[in-house]
Amino acid sequence: MSKINTRFPPPFARYDIDGAFDEMFDSEGAVRDHYLAIYQRLLELPAGELQNRQQAADLSFLHQGITFTVYGNDEQLERIFPYDLLPRIITGAEWGTIERGLTQRITAINLFLRDIYHEGKILNDGVVPRELIYSCKYYRRQMRGIHVPNDVYVAVVGTDLIRVDSGEFVILEDNLRVPSGVSYMLANRQVMKYVFPRLFSAYGVRSIDHYGQALLSTLRSLAPKRRMDPKIVLLSPGVYNSAYFEHAFLARQMGITLVEGSSLLVHDNVLYMRTTAGLERVDVIYRRVDDDFLDPLAFRPDSLLGVPGLLNAYRAGNVALANAIGTGVADDKAVYAYVPAIIRYYLGEDAILNNVETYLLFDDVQRRYVLDNLEHLVVKAVGESGGYGMLIGPQSTAAEREDFRRRINANPRNYVAQPTLALSRAPCFIDGQVEPRHIDLRPYILYGDQVSIAPGGLTRVALRRGSLVVNSSQGGGSKDTWVLQQ
């Protein structure tokens, strides 16, 4: 990876090009066409003006209370989610491929989930190993044979994509349980429209504002058919959850009731909420509570976040859940490796968006290779998310590698390995200058009567120079994502 010594004018003086794909500059250091207008604008802006706009944006987040909670030693701090001023731009053509690929993928995954909780044809045919499914941490035997409305298991997805050196978008993770972050996508756009109004309107950016209505109509499509005017609620773990802002935000956008478990009760397999007028029946839950905590009678008995008897009401078809219980099985990082095969099995098509190459460590040959090459690979625990439980080989110490070697040998099923990937980079506004930072992309997909994908998504940014970790829990930020009409 040789560095190209292109000298850029201010505010790009600290910018450089390395081997990773750069969203704004090609490998020769020339500005890509769709970034030209913003590049020009950045050169023209008087010094200090970007700083002013960044401050205006930060203040806007603070005043709107768009924050997440950090738990410290003795006090809780509310922080704003770091917001980068410069938009990430995706062309209409690139988006077209992403959209087709995600639609194909979510369709196949829903068919797969239906199959493994009913006949298990794909297991009988040996396409996916049976023991892989049954040993999965998120497999829920309670879901066996339960009819799920419209066979929609995963209604709301936030898939993580990255762009690799070649410029190709590949799938990193599917996030099929309770994906979060969509409120930041919407809030970032709101702020962007205040901060760069003219640039925004000149660019011809596709709108994402209808996400709330689309989500509502997806949820409505899941309601029990006999219920004429279904009551839909959003179930939140409550105000101490780090994503609470998002829960309240979405409830308000959709005009549905935000509930916590303590407001709900099940009687005769029917779900009610406690209102000032008495008990009111509930038909659909958009739940932002994990499987384990949904029903203390069926899952973790110590959960106070859920509703006793909810699983029975669900099984009786009296209430719908989005997402269904047990969808995490397809989110397992070892099952992920089979998604291209799953797509071929159910749809007879090749995957439009590729996976990251993944080594399965319960396979002896693959494991031997991985253990011999730990310093070049990334090892991930199959059931973790948020950047936890990972070994990043090139940045690891010998002791850490030894630790992972022991853990892998003790429980090979629990780990997968992938090559170290250079995420693409995009210009970000850092300390008064524009510098490159690594980014990923999380589009939000809704699967109901139809598939609907908000054009764009949340672009997460690894704010530390050189870092590849974009997770908000580990110092990541985000920026607005523009999908162009053209």
Q: Residue numbers of the site for another protein (CB under 8 A)?
A: 62-65, 239, 244-245, 247-249, 251-252, 257-260, 262-263, 265, 267-268, 272-279
Rounded distance, CA 380 to CA 332, Å? 11
CB of 73 to another protein, least distance (A): 16
Phi (first) and psi of residue 89, to 5 degrees? -115, 130
Residue with tokens 């689309």: 214
Of the pair 263, 467, the CB lying nearest another protein is at 263
Rounded distance, CA 221 to CA 216, Å? 9
H/E element, 314:
helix 310-315
H/E element, 199:
helix 197-203
Of the pair 113, 186, the CB lying nearest another protein is at 186
Beta bridge partners of residue 265, listed in sequence order: 272
CB of 463 to another protein, least distance (A): 24
Of the pair 46, 278, the CB lying nearest another protein is at 278
Residue 389 tokens read as: 């439980």
**Contact between residue 224 and residue 44 where contact means Cβ atoms under 8 Å apart:** no
Of the pair 180, 414, the CB lying nearest another protein is at 180
Residue 313 tokens read as: 């009401």
Task: Name every residue whose Cβ is closer than 8 Å to that of residue 15 and which is 6 or more positions away in sequence.
Answer: 8, 25, 427, 434, 435, 436
Rounded distance, CA 99 to CA 85, Å? 25
Of the pair 100, 274, the CB lying nearest another protein is at 274
Of the pair 297, 392, the CB lying nearest another protein is at 297
**Contact between residue 185 and residue 208 where contact means Cβ atoms under 8 Å apart:** yes
Report the Cα 385 to chain-centroid distance in Å.
Answer: 10
Residue 466 tokens read as: 């050189």
CB of 254 to another protein, least distance (A): 9
* Burial group, residue 75, by CB count within 10 angstroms (0-12, 13-18, 19+): exposed
Of the pair 268, 403, the CB lying nearest another protein is at 268
Report the Cα 315 to chain-centroid distance in Å.
Answer: 28
CB of 237 to another protein, least distance (A): 13
User: Residues 222, 330, 300, CA angle at the centre, nearest 5°?
Assistant: 75
Of the pair 56, 239, the CB lying nearest another protein is at 239
CB of 449 to another protein, least distance (A): 25
CB of 170 to another protein, least distance (A): 37
**Contact between residue 362 and residue 168 where contact means Cβ atoms under 8 Å apart:** no
CB of 275 to another protein, least distance (A): 6
CB of 65 to another protein, least distance (A): 5
Of the pair 195, 428, the CB lying nearest another protein is at 195
CB of 388 to another protein, least distance (A): 27
**Contact between residue 359 and residue 420 where contact means Cβ atoms under 8 Å apart:** no
Helix (H, G, I), strand (E, B) or coil at 325: coil
**Contact between residue 375 and residue 401 where contact means Cβ atoms under 8 Å apart:** yes
Of the pair 69, 366, the CB lying nearest another protein is at 69
Of the pair 211, 447, the CB lying nearest another protein is at 211
Residue 379 tokens read as: 């090892």
Helix (H, G, I), strand (E, B) or coil at 137: coil
Helix (H, G, I), strand (E, B) or coil at 277: coil
CB of 286 to another protein, least distance (A): 12
Give the C-alpha distances (Å, rounded to integers) separating 414 from 361, 381, 421: 8, 6, 21
CB of 241 to another protein, least distance (A): 12
